[in-house]
Amino acid sequence: MPSYLKHTRIVVVDNGASTIKLGVKGFNDSDSRVIPNAIVRSKGDKATYYGHEIEKCTDYSSLHYRLPFEKGYLVDWDAQKAIWDGIFTTDYLMLDPTESSLLMTEPYFNLPNLQDVYDQFVFEEYEFQSYYRCTPASLVSYGKLYREKGQPSPECVLVVDSGFSFTHVVPMINGSIMWEAVKRIDVGGKLLTNQLKELVSFRQWNMMDETYVMNDVKESCCFVSTQFTRDLDICRANPIGNPIVQEYILPDFSLNRRGHVRRPDEMMEDSYQILHMNSERFAVPEIMFRPDDIGLEQAGLAQTIAHSISLLPEDIQGMFWSNIGLIGGSTKFPNFCSRLAAELRTLAPVDSEVKIYESSDPILEAYRSAIAFASKPDFLQKVVTREEYNESGSNACRRKFPDWKPKEGEAALTKGKVSVELQDVVREDEEGAPAHPGDVVGRKTDSALG
């Protein structure tokens, strides 16, 4: 490790599809700044807000969102650069990026071509001195999620990360992700908010353009049902006077009044517009447990966890059942943990203990764990330095970062190279018996991978 790295300040960025969690190690690091990862256009304000500037917004009606992430992966680098340009500055961070180190998260199974762009932005655009890139789950073992008094950290854990774009089940042994058992459900907060928007727009008010408002309704009202059909019956029997129904008072931005759930003693005013939240309260989060309710042909969360564990070595499966941890904003729905525990109990072997660990702040869990990791003395030995990048480019990052990446042989298997090899094969085959082109492709590709 070069000696100048010893006193480097470390910037920690959990770069999520919905929010960026950002802070500097040793500098008010327990409270990260949570910044929308979006460029937002407010019609009412006639203004565009980049990332953290959203706090200046006064009119949240019909906001237009431009998100750098699509399906959980960073695809719009123009938008991401516009947002990063505002935060990777000396003014905002109170330090010079070119003299500091960066710890940045990436999605699970990040595409290899996108990983390269991450590296290019960090070193070529913002010129950080050194950097480390990994997934949120691989940071969790440094944090407090599994810490119990007097107990060492468990060796085998299974992290459920349910965020904005999707939900991942991530088993780990001694901090290393078991990628062959990592499974993804394509349900996250974005889909749930959009589903809620559709339901209320059909049944009550047209809220299709009110993503901001409906996200707040989702966060304030929705919960996970522990007995879905019973709760449906309760709602159906008496749609107005049942214990589940809530009245959400919609915001009035012209009066600067925010939306909220009506309190029991709150007087109603004529100007109030009410959104009745009945079965919608639990039918929306239900999709995480039953994705087929909306036609998505994927198993629910509990079944997916059971499936993931079944792919792990049999003699240690029991340890995963008893070390399940929840992170990500979509695990915050009330009753999420008890519903999951009840479903897992029926799927787990009788002699296995099922235990679920909840974070005090599931959104910040990965960030706080990242701060703990950055505080370890060996963190700076794991980073890639700007010199190393200048010398060997993204190969330096592939060599050093432990999370998912294309293997040596596969990394070289770019599209161009495959087609060159195929041409060679076709020429060889022309001499012999004419072969079916499809067979040639299959055979040669396999052998090229060796």
Partner 1 sequence: MSNIIIVFFSDCGGQHRAIRNTQSVASAQLDPDVIAKRTRRHLDELERSNYSEPSALLAGEEDEDGTAGGRTGKGRARQATSDKRAAELGKKKKSTMNVRTAVLYKKSFTMLLDESGLASYPASVPTYLSAAAPPPKEPPRMLCSICGYLGKYRCKRCSMPYCDKNCEEVHDEARCERRVI
Of residues 375 through 434, those in contact with partner 1 by CB under 8 A are: 404, 406-407, 410, 413-415, 418
Sheet of 64-66, strand order: 47-50, 39-42, 64-66
- State the minimum distance, in angstroms, from the CB of residue 290 to partner 1: 7
Region near partner 1 per CB under 8 A, out of 22-30, 140-148, 279-287, 317-325 = 279-287
* Rounded Cα distance, 290 and 301, in Å: 8
Decide whether 120 or 335 has the Cβ nearer to partner 1. 120
Task: Report the site for partner 1 in 119-148 (rule: CB under 8 A).
Answer: 120-121, 124-125
Which helix (DSSP H) or strand (DSSP E) does residue 390 occupy?
Answer: helix 386-392
Decide whether 31 or 186 has the Cβ nearer to partner 1. 186
DSSP for residue 98 = G
- State the minimum distance, in angstroms, from the CB of residue 21 to partner 1: 20
Q: How many CB atoms lie within 10 A of CB 78?
A: 9
* Rounded Cα distance, 353 and 319, in Å: 8
Q: Does 272 bind partner 1 (CB under 8 A)?
A: no
* Rounded Cα distance, 62 and 213, in Å: 9
Listing DSSP states for 237-303 in one string gives H-SSSSSS-EEEE--BTTTTBPPEEPPTTPPP-TT--EEEESTHHHHTTHHHH-GGGGT--S--HHH
- State the minimum distance, in angstroms, from the CB of residue 208 to partner 1: 4
Q: Judge contact between 105 and 366, C-beta under 8 A.
A: yes
Task: Report the site for partner 1 in 225-264 (rule: CB under 8 A).
Answer: 229, 232, 235-236
Region near partner 1 per CB under 8 A, out of 132-140, 296-304, 316-324, 364-372 = 296-304
Task: Report the site for partner 1 in 77-96 (rule: CB under 8 A).
Answer: 77-79, 81-82, 85-86, 89
In the set 111, 426, 435, 440, which binds partner 1 (CB under 8 A)?
A: 111
Close Cβ partners of 197 (under 8 Å, ≥ 6 residues apart): 207, 208, 210, 211, 214
- State the minimum distance, in angstroms, from the CB of residue 271 to partner 1: 26
- State the minimum distance, in angstroms, from the CB of residue 365 to partner 1: 22
In the set 59, 99, 247, 293, which binds partner 1 (CB under 8 A)?
A: 293
Task: Report the site for partner 1 in 46-65 (rule: CB under 8 A).
Answer: 48, 50, 62, 64-65
Decide whether 5 or 299 has the Cβ nearer to partner 1. 299
Contacts with partner 1 by CB under 8 A: the residue count is 87
Cα-to-chain-centroid distance, residue 417: 33
- State the minimum distance, in angstroms, from the CB of residue 342 to partner 1: 16
In the set 189, 291, 328, 329, which binds partner 1 (CB under 8 A)?
A: 291
- State the minimum distance, in angstroms, from the CB of residue 119 to partner 1: 9
DSSP for residue 125 = I
- 3-state SS, residue 133: strand
Region near partner 1 per CB under 8 A, out of 147-155, 215-223, 298-306, 379-387 = 298-306
Close Cβ partners of 47 (under 8 Å, ≥ 6 residues apart): 41, 56, 57
In the set 33, 41, 257, 262, which binds partner 1 (CB under 8 A)?
A: 41
Task: Report the site for partner 1 in 144-203 (rule: CB under 8 A).
Answer: 168-169, 179-180, 182-186, 190-191, 194-195, 197-199, 202-203
- State the minimum distance, in angstroms, from the CB of residue 108 to partner 1: 7
- State the minimum distance, in angstroms, from the CB of residue 232 to partner 1: 5
Decide whether 11 or 79 has the Cβ nearer to partner 1. 79
* Rounded Cα distance, 356 and 365, in Å: 15
Q: Judge contact between 402 and 133, C-beta under 8 A.
A: no
Task: Report the site for partner 1 in 300-339 (rule: CB under 8 A).
Answer: 300, 303-304, 307
Listing DSSP states for 63-93 in one string gives -EEE-SEETTEE--HHHHHHHHHHHSSHHHH
In the set 44, 57, 73, 388, which binds partner 1 (CB under 8 A)?
A: 73
What are the tokens at 258?
């925010």
Cα within 13 Å of Cα(114), Cβ side: 19
Q: Which residue has tokens 């203004």?
A: 47
Whole-angstrom CA distances from 375 to 113, 223, 241 are: 30, 36, 53
* Rounded Cα distance, 186 and 72, in Å: 9
In the set 29, 280, 343, 403, which binds partner 1 (CB under 8 A)?
A: 280
- State the minimum distance, in angstroms, from the CB of residue 2 to partner 1: 23
